[in-house]
Amino acid sequence: MSRRKGFSLVELLIVLAVIAALIATITPVALNAIQKAKATQVAQNLKTLASAFENKLYVDGSAPSALVDLGRDIDVKRYGVAWEEGSGTYTVVVWALEQVKDTTLQSVLSDAKYSSTAEWSSNTVDTIKTLSGMSNLTKAFTPSSSGISGKGIAYYTFTFVVY
């Protein structure tokens, strides 16, 4: 009796079941890695913007006149800066309109906070004032959130003195 070449239906179904089980196992791990990478990127960007703002004041002696003064390739649709100044002491809030994991964000930038309920809108500065508890934020570069929508704001507040 001669055997046919190729796979039987049972063999093919077993191979497909094994592949489906592997995909079901790997997918959550891959999605979690993507979320962690996004949160890490946002935290690093907040840290970089904070340093750039502080450096701008130390070097030039004046606050930036636009967000792009702090660096190249800043996504002005998603990032913003607001500050208040009193006799050389600056309190600054930098924020990102992003949906990220709070724990990962704080593992990279421990003082960063995240609000999953804050909505992206034209009055983001008012939202930032409420979230940070700083009602005296007088200067701000707000993201032009036109064309994007969603919820979730990651923000970082810091204070420093310029001599």
Q: Is residue 85 within 8 Å of 153, Cβ to Cβ?
A: no
Number of domains forming the structure of the chain: 1
Q: Does the residue 1 lie in any domain?
A: no
Q: Does the residue 3 lie in any domain?
A: no
Q: Does the residue 76 lie in any domain?
A: yes
Q: Is residue 72 within 8 Å of 133, Cβ to Cβ?
A: no
Range of the domain at 105: 9-161
* Confidence at residue 12, expressed as pLDDT on a 0 to 100 scale: 93
Name the H helices within the chain: 9-60, 102-108, 124-132
State the average pLDDT for the chain: 86
Q: Does the residue 4 lie in any domain?
A: no
Q: Does the residue 23 lie in any domain?
A: yes
Q: How does pLDDT run across 7-48, given as a tens digit for each residue?
A: 899 999 999 999 999 999 999 888 888 888 999 999 999 999
Strand order in the sheet with 113-119: 113-119, 151-161, 89-96, 79-86, 139-141
Q: Does the residue 108 lie in any domain?
A: yes
Q: Does the residue 21 lie in any domain?
A: yes
Taking the model in full, what pTM does it have? Answer: 0.79
